[in-house]
């Protein structure tokens, strides 16, 4: 049976009419910012205080886009007679995002939680050299890292939080003990000074 003349046009108009009745899904970027998933891989932020310069991230990076420089410093002994220690001090931490393929291996292998994903993605540059972010800029990205999801109420308390809580409780108990000892010492001092003051007053009355 030969096709009816104009049937193709009718089908096309039918698709157009069905689409016109649906809600638009076009994102009006950049006038309207997109709603990104919480785990969006936008840019990597550096929490410098947690970095121990172990070099795991740089060694595991498949693109070799992480550059780290450091030097060693000698730390004096914590107690008399103790041994001095040496520690690594971070001099440079940079990521070349023109080479990075956003695999996230550096974040996964970091044993001290010094690297985090941020959903920010608006850091395009006209000069490719500007895509190498030094540690100051990587630290600024930390302000855009979203908070971690809430823990399951039935889950066990993380070991880090438990250790920090025990340390805080121990420090508070030690401070309370020191304050109590100071109060007792002050009370004993006051008790000793009171008879001396009375004796001095009695001697002055006797002389008069």
* Domain parsing of the chain, residue ranges: 29-144, 156-202
Residue 29 CB: number of other CB atoms within 10 A?
9
Place of tokens 């107690």: 79
Reported as a single tens digit per residue, the pLDDT across 6-27 is 788 888 888 888 888 888 778 8
Answer whether 138's CB lies under 8 Å from 66's CB: no
The sign of the CA dihedral 40, 41, 42, 47 is: positive
pLDDT at 205 over 90: no
pLDDT (0 to 100) of residue 187: 84
- 55's CB contacts (< 8 A; 6+ apart) are 68
Q: Per the annotation, where are the binding residues?
A: 51, 54, 57, 61, 100, 103, 106, 110
When pLDDT is cut at 50, 70 and 90, the band that residue 87 belongs to is: confident
The average pLDDT across 39-47 equals 93
CATH level 2 (architecture), domain 29-144: 2-Layer Sandwich (3.30)
Q: Which two tokens mark 177?
A: 């003990």
pLDDT at 30 over 70: yes
Q: Which two tokens mark 106?
A: 């550096």
Cα 143 from Cα 15, distance rounded (Å): 46
pTM of model > 0.85: no
Q: Which helix (H) or strand (E) holds 93?
A: strand 85-96
pLDDT (0 to 100) of residue 201: 60
pLDDT (0 to 100) of residue 204: 63
Reported as a single tens digit per residue, the pLDDT across 106-154 is 999 999 999 999 999 999 999 999 999 999 999 999 999 998 888 788 8
DSSP state of 41: -
Q: Per the annotation, where are the binding residues for [4Fe-4S] cluster?
A: 51, 54, 57, 61, 100, 103, 106, 110
Cα 151 from Cα 165, distance rounded (Å): 17
């Amino acid at each position: 049976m030969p096709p009816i003349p104009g049937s193709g046009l009718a089908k096309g108009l039918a698709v157009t009419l069905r689409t016109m009745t649906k809600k638009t899904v076009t994102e009006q970027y950049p006038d309207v910012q997109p709603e990104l998933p919480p785990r969006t891989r936008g840019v990597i932020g550096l929490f410098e205080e947690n970095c121990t310069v172990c070099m795991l991230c740089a060694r595991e990076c498949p693109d070799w886009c992480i550059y780290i420089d450091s030097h060693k410093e000698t730390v004096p002994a914590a107690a008399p007679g103790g041994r001095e220690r040496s520690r690594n001090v971070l001099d440079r931490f940079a990521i070349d995002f023109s080479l990075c393929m956003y695999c996230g291996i550096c974040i996964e292998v970091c044993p001290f939680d010094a690297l985090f994903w941020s959903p920010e993605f608006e850091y395009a540059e006209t000069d490719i050299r500007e895509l190498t972010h030094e540690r100051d800029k990587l630290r600024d990205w930390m302000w855009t890292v979203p908070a971690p999801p809430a823990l399951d109420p039935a889950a066990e308390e993380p070991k880090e939080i438990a250790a920090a809580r025990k340390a805080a409780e121990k420090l508070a108990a030690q401070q309370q003990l020191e304050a109590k000892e100071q109060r007792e010492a002050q009370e004993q001092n006051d008790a000793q000074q009171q008879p001396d003051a009375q004796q001095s007053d009695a001697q002055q009355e006797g002389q008069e």
